A and B are shown apart, each in its own frame.
Chain A
């Protein structure tokens, strides 16, 4: 188990290192990094001073070394817009996104396990057909469109819910609902498929031949096995939720990392963009490690590798 987890952790770390390198070179591919970091109307002198100050005229490997050592010290540059360290700006936005994502993920995961299992128990039945079509529709719907349609109906026409902003419980309803649509739709299908496979497996047959009750067959013998692929997909959905958060935060005006990134891009605040990417990456990789540990706990075959 330690071998497996260590290997997975090394892979995660390599992914992070790969992203760091990618961001570094992408930022320098455009030629003059001043274009990215400075306002568009910056004077030539300002640009030259900037280049000199940050050593952009040094050889690329010297620059890379400096980049890495700056990263190690948590020095990710200053936000042009707010005139303070980019890391501080991002860390303020992180809790908003995390709470939004955590609530959405929990609702999507537990909801999909219940709906998916029920659908798989009678494949082709009424419940299966309804849940299959609606989960497919959910996975197919463009979230930004659902969001503005929902605003049109619930905020503009019915005036039940606020159009935007982060506030009381009512303001959470639409963002969470929009955010879970895609992962929920996808997870329902994964749970259903996985459950169908497991329910037709040989060991479920053995359990039935032993005279185990149907409820125990499903919730004890089948569910734990069926969860294995679901957990993997749910882990991958962490990235999907982050995608959704960008849209939801932008539309509903939530001060999370997604909105921060889009705002920073529009205002050409590259230090914040870069920091947001790295912090998001670290969060997602941590989630991946949690997923790996859960997997190892559930599956003894992984534990004994």
Chain B
């Protein structure tokens, strides 16, 4: 239990790292799910609708995009209470624009494809066109982004927790562990170092994974994986 030592209050480092990983992952997963579902839906609507709603949704995305997400999060968490629910909400909202923009761009392209016209000519309703013909083609792209975004959200959460406006003690996440360990930098450097290392390895793995997913999904690029796999020195 104490392979990696203990913190200032004598709590096992290993145990705390594990509990923190659960919290970090759960918060990141919920935030990503939130932004993918809400952002993706808004993007689909914005791409399909030809009315003013489309423009309004994109301006909304612009507003969120234009301002530093950390600053927005800081202000919102200052005004409201910094709790798990608000944290997820803030992280989710600040990451929404990427889904909105991507989904919209994809829809704008896909809706012009002939099979959508073909379905329309058959008399397909709006819901069928979006649900059966457009959304299934947008989903893989959004999933790829979500993998990458998971890493980004983890970094965002840990930064907020580090600044003291994310998760509040006695709850624990990796970011908060780095913040708490900072006070013992000279006597017990690993208290801050290890949780940070964990964050980096997790985000790095996610980044690599998303890169491979993207290549594997692209028929034009797929040969690279196979050729490299074939004659790996």
Q: Do chains A and B directly touch (beta carbons under 8 Å) in the complex?
A: yes
Q: How large is the interface on A (under 10, 10 to 19, 20 to 34, 35 or more residues)?
A: 35 or more
Interface of A is mostly: helix
Q: Are A243 and B60 in contact (CB under 8 A)?
A: no
A73 within 8 A of B: no
Q: Which of A18, A124, A143 contacts B63 (CB 8 A)?
A: A18
- In Å, the complex CA distance between A242 and B70 comes to 8
Which residue of B67, B69, B189, B200 has the most chain A CB atoms within 10 A of its CB atom?
Answer: B67
A75-83, A146-154, A209-217: which lies at the B interface?
A146-154
B111 within 8 A of A: no
Q: A285–B66 contact, CB under 8 A?
A: yes
Task: Tell whether A142 pairs with B155 under 8 Å between CB atoms, given A15-B59, A239-B69, A285-B66.
Answer: yes
Q: Is the beta-carbon distance between A239 and B200 smaller than 8 angstroms?
A: no
A148 with B158: CB separation less than 8 A = no
Q: How far, in Å, is A155 (CB) from chain B's closest CB?
A: 10
**Given A15-B62, A18-B59, also A145-B71 (CB < 8 A):** no
Cα A142 to Cα B185 in complex, Å, equals 17
Known pairs A26-B75, A144-B178, A148-B192; A239 contacts B66 (CB<8 A):
yes
Interface residues of A in 214-240 (CB under 8 A from B): 236, 239-240
Q: How far is the CA of A274 from the CA of B75 in the complex (A)?
A: 8
Q: Does B92 contact A (CB under 8 A)?
A: no
Q: With A15-B63, A247-B159 known to touch, is A145 a contact of B74 (CB < 8 Å)?
A: no
Question: What count of chain B residues pass the 8 Å CB interface test?
Answer: 48
- At the interface, yes or no: B125 with Cβ under 8 Å from chain A? no
The answer for the CA separation of A146 and B182 in the assembled complex, in Å, is: 12
Most chain A CB neighbours (cut-off 10 Å) among B63, B80, B206? B63
Asked if A246 lies at the interface with its beta carbon under 8 angstroms from chain B, I say: yes
Using A240-B68, A243-B70, A246-B68 as known contacts, say yes or no to A277 and B151 having CB atoms under 8 A apart.
no
Q: Answer whether residue A139 sits at the interface, using C-beta atoms and an 8 A cutoff.
A: yes
* A252-281, CB < 8 A from B: 261-262, 265-266, 273-274, 276-277, 280-281
Which residues from A are CB-within-8-Å of B159?
A: 142-144, 243, 247
Assess the B63–A19 pair: CB atoms within 8 A. Answer: yes
Query: Which residue of chain B is the closest to A149 with respect to CB atoms?
Result: B193
> Can you identify 14 A-B contacts, CB atoms within 8 angstroms?
A12-B66, A14-B63, A18-B60, A19-B66, A140-B151, A140-B207, A152-B185, A152-B189, A246-B68, A246-B70, A246-B74, A262-B74, A265-B74, A265-B165
Q: A140-B204, A145-B196 are in contact. List 6 more A-B contacts (CB 8 A).
A: A142-B203, A148-B196, A243-B69, A246-B70, A273-B78, A284-B66
A interface residue numbers (CB < 8 A to B) = 11-12, 14-15, 18-19, 22-23, 26-27, 29-30, 36, 124, 136-137, 139-146, 148-149, 151-152, 156, 236, 239-240, 242-243, 246-247, 250, 261-262, 265-266, 273-274, 276-277, 280-281, 284-285, 288
